Amino acid sequence: MSKRAIVLGGGIGGVVAARALRRSLDRVDEVVLIDKNPDHLFAPSLLWVMIGNRRPDQIRRPLSGLERYGIRFVQGEVTEVDPVARRVELAGRSFEADYLLLSPGLRTQSGSFGQLPHAHNLYTMEGAEALGRALAKGSAPGEGTVLVTTTESFYRCPAAPYEAALLIRDRLRDRPSVRVVFHAAESTPMGVAGPHVSAAVKSMLAARGVEYRPDSPLTVEGDVICDRQGAAVEAGLVAFVPEHRPAEFLVKSKLLGEHGGISVDRQMRTNWPGVFAVGDATAIRLSNGKLLPRAGVFAHAQAEVASAAIAADAAGRSAQRRFQGHGQCFLEIGGGRAAFARGNFLAEPEPDVRLYSPSFFGRFAKFLFEQHWLRTRL
């Protein structure tokens, strides 16, 4: 009898999983991908939209493009998941599956920063475009300070706001009098990667003139940005990382574990038979007590592991692959150069991560990775 696998989410984890499932399941089996949006967005390139290196259409791809690989795409917002029946509910429709693979990422909300006309959410297309316009015009930065801030210490891709601050500094290189100030909610940059990586990132910020204020979360009172002591923080332009929360259907389900994410084993199986989860929606505790960072590189690896487990299960075999915790990321610093971090986050007793010095080759590799993704995945 033919089987049906449903992938919930057409982001990095969902697209990798759907393609891998289509390759490994029997031709008569059905692979369905559901997403509320019509397009896949390659989020890492939002930072290039912000500095005017990409147009929005260059980093989006229609999810309907998956149909040419034999994957059925359904556009709609999932409002409920029943992990026992392996059923997902959309407005007016419901789908049941033999296998359910959840990759809904995290929901973001702009919070009080979203009410300020000169503050833009760095993690959305609209925010990246608005920042791009302001940086190009120079009107807001001309008022003195560009503020980069993480509203909470938990967010997707620990490198992204640091990269954003360095790229903004580079974009404003002909206006050295404009200050770029980074107020971070966290105590150190990319802390999960270890003290040597944090120290290296701090020196990159200092060397390029980004003023870094760790452990310094900001609040918004009326239309004034305030520091912990209640003093006003002036800025002509603000790039902020939003608050991250689980998808609404997860909040009302039994699927969320104690760390605000879906609990999974190393084959990305949840506590419910036939239900798998990957990517930012999961929570994996590391040997040092911290949580695995939410990043596309892990969503990608986990999607391959989960798909292999589903294919093995469907064929009546036992699955061999496990999520190993290896990851890498680029940290672009401006001037056409990017550093590169790589390591094993599941190493014991601490993640074992190394940061390689910025180079032109690093920046070129980042470009090649983006192009490979956009040209071959969808």
Interface with ligand FAD (CB under 6 A): 9-14, 34-37, 43-44, 46-47, 77-78, 103-105, 123, 156-157, 160, 247, 249, 279-281, 294-297, 299, 329-330
Nearest approach in angstroms of CB 343 to ligand FAD is 13
Q: Which is nearer to ligand FAD, 114 or 144 (CB)?
A: 114
Are the C-beta atoms of 151 and 247 separated by less than 8 Å?
A: no
Q: Of all residues in this chain, which one has the CB nearest to ligand FAD in the complex?
A: 11
CB crowding 190-209: b at 16 or more within 10 Å, else e: bbbbbeebbebbbebbeebe
- The identity of residue 260, as a single letter, is G
Nearest approach in angstroms of CB 157 to ligand FAD is 3
Nearest approach in angstroms of CB 121 to ligand FAD is 10
Nearest approach in angstroms of CB 230 to ligand FAD is 30
Are the C-beta atoms of 292 and 286 separated by less than 8 Å?
A: yes
Q: Which is nearer to ligand FAD, 226 or 377 (CB)?
A: 377
Q: Which is nearer to ligand FAD, 228 or 254 (CB)?
A: 254
Q: Which is nearer to ligand FAD, 247 or 284 (CB)?
A: 247
Q: Which is nearer to ligand FAD, 77 or 129 (CB)?
A: 77
Dihedral sign, Cα of residue 106, residue 125, residue 158, residue 324: positive
34 token code pair: 């559901």
Q: Which is nearer to ligand FAD, 212 or 330 (CB)?
A: 330
Are the C-beta atoms of 292 and 324 separated by less than 8 Å?
A: no
CA distances from 372 to 66, 77, 85 (A): 16, 29, 37
Nearest approach in angstroms of CB 315 to ligand FAD is 25
Paired residues of 337 in beta bridges: 334
Pick from 39, 27, 25, 33: nearest CA to 9: 33
Nearest approach in angstroms of CB 170 to ligand FAD is 16
Alpha-carbon distance 293 to 190, whole Å? 9
289 token code pair: 């007590």
- In the numeric block, the tokens 């040092």 are attached to 288
Nearest approach in angstroms of CB 143 to ligand FAD is 25
Q: How many CB atoms lie within 10 A of CB 231?
A: 10
Nearest approach in angstroms of CB 36 to ligand FAD is 4
214 token code pair: 């760790």
Helices (H), the chain: 12-24, 46-50, 125-137, 160-171, 195-207, 248-251, 296-314, 360-376
Q: Which is nearer to ligand FAD, 119 or 174 (CB)?
A: 119
Pick from 61, 21, 20, 69: nearest CA to 40: 61
Pick from 315, 328, 263: nearest CA to 102: 263
Q: Which is nearer to ligand FAD, 140 or 247 (CB)?
A: 247
Q: Which is nearer to ligand FAD, 38 or 142 (CB)?
A: 38
